[in-house]
């Protein structure tokens, strides 16, 4: 459950409107644009983010996920619509609430941007423009395309992101270089295609999968995401990374079971056959090799057999199921 509170024309919004009168054309004229901001203890940064976003949108919506500070109050004063959760639901829960609201408002374009200053609102025009020109259905602000940057990103984060991105590419129809960017813009087709089965960080991949499965167009544009700021995330990166990676691996095992089970099994069987049996057959005093290593390799090969069989069976079963659905 959540409650909606909207402030009218506050002094902040009046000041902003005065500025915008002399700077028209930043927002697409024919589109109703809503910018969504996940809100959690961001009282120090949220006002400036909202005021910047209002230059490019018809409405800014903050989803307050049980903040303990004055983030919600400040957001209202800055001219945003605030939707408050009764309990903390995580990133996926925030996105789910935001998309439900956007559908009710019949939004043409929605954008998700963080409240901590990691994402630059100045990049909003190049996020929105491809949607307005019907050149894409989803636009991702990417750190890893040409021109994109990740300022002061820790090495362990780079490693984790590269691992998640690699696994995601193996099962995705579209090769997305930055699957974990939270800076995303959606047109109406993408808004309607998005599904939510998870309310945690796994939803970042789930959203991409649901859009990719519909055959919609995904475009990455360069952006800079900052890591040199204080309090940029309430989540520990290691458990978060493990959770997202496990979801990516689980999805890969469902879509390409032979790759996850069959191929490792085939490798293990091959190693066991080549090295295990050879070692056992050539045991002698002059070689100095004992039977122990050979038995180990045989066991490796034996363990690989059920993996190989499982991979083949699951891959075939998936093909049969897919063919029956298409018929």
Asked whether 46 and 76 are in contact (CB, 8 A), the reply is no
Kindly list the domain boundaries of the chain, sorted by start residue.
2-253, 256-326
pLDDT in tens, the chain (327 residues): 444 444 433 433 444 444 344 444 466 667 899 999 999 999 999 999 999 999 999 999 999 999 999 999 999 999 999 999 999 998 889 999 999 999 999 999 999 999 999 999 999 999 999 999 999 999 999 999 999 988 777 777 777 777 766 766 665 667 889 988 999 999 999 999 998 877 666 778 889 888 988 999 999 999 999 887 665 555 555 665 565 556 555 665 566 665 555 566 666 667 666 665 555 555 544 555 555 555 555 555 566 666 555 555 545 455 545 555 444
Asked whether 32 and 109 are in contact (CB, 8 A), the reply is yes
CA distances (Å), origin 110, targets 25, 139, 218, 301: 18, 10, 15, 52
- Give CA–CA dist 205/8, Å, rounded: 36
CA distances (Å), origin 307, targets 114, 162, 261, 314: 42, 26, 5, 10
Beta-carbon neighbour count of residue 174 at 10 Å? 16
- Give CA–CA dist 290/247, Å, rounded: 42
Give the pLDDT confidence score for residue 22 in this predicted structure.
42
Specify the pTM.
Answer: 0.67
What is the fold of 2-253? Spore Coat Polysaccharide Biosynthesis Protein SpsA; Chain A (3.90.550)
Give the pLDDT confidence score for residue 101 in this predicted structure.
98
* Angle between helix 237-255 and 203-213 (nearest 10): 30
Q: Which residues pair with 225 in a beta bridge?
A: 150
Q: Please choose, from the candidates 36, 50, 54, the residue with its C-alpha nearest in 3D space to the C-alpha of residue 91.
A: 36
* Residues constituting the chain: 327
Q: Are strands 33-39 and 149-151 parallel, antiparallel or unpaired?
A: unpaired
Across the chain, the runs of DSSP E, i.e. the strands, are 2-6, 33-39, 59-64, 81-85, 109-112, 138-142, 149-151, 184-187, 218-222, 224-226
- Give CA–CA dist 277/298, Å, rounded: 7
Contacts of 237 (CB under 8 A, 6+ apart): 154, 156, 157, 160
């Amino acid at each position: 459950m959540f409650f909606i509170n909207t402030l009218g024309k506050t002094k902040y919004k009046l000041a902003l409107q005065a500025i915008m009168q002399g700077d028209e054309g930043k927002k697409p004229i024919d589109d109703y644009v809503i910018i969504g901001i996940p809100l959690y203890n961001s009282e120090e940064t949220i006002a400036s983010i909202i005021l910047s976003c209002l230059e490019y949108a018809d409405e800014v919506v903050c989803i307050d996920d049980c903040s303990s500070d004055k983030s919600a109050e400040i957001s209202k004063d800055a001219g945003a619509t605030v939707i408050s959760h009764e309990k903390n639901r995580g990133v996926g829960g925030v996105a789910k609430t935001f998309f439900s609201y956007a559908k009710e408002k019949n939004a043409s374009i929605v954008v998700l941007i963080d409240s901590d200053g990691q994402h630059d609102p100045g990049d909003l025009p190049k996020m929105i423009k491809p949607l307005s020109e019907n050149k894409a259905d989803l636009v991702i602000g990417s750190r890893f395309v040409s021109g994109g940057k990740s300022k002061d990103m820790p090495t362990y984060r780079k490693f984790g992101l590269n691992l998640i991105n690699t696994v995601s590419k193996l099962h995705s129809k579209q090769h997305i270089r930055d699957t974990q960017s939270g800076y995303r813009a959606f047109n109406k087709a993408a808004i309607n295609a998005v599904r939510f089965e998870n309310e945690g960080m796994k939803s970042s991949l789930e959203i991409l999968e649901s859009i990719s499965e519909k055959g919609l167009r995904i475009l990455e544009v360069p952006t800079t995401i900052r890591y040199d700021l204080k309090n940029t995330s309430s989540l520990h990166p290691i458990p978060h990374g493990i959770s997202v990676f496990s979801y990516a691996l689980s999805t890969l095992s469902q879509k390409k079971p032979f790759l996850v089970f069959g191929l490792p099994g085939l490798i293990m069987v091959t190693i066991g056959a080549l090295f295990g049996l050879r070692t056992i057959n050539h045991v002698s005093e002059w070689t100095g090799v004992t039977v122990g290593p050979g038995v180990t390799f045989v066991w490796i090969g034996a363990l690989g057999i059920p993996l190989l069989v499982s991979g083949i069976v699951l891959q075939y079963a998936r093909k049969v199921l897919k063919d029956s659905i298409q018929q």
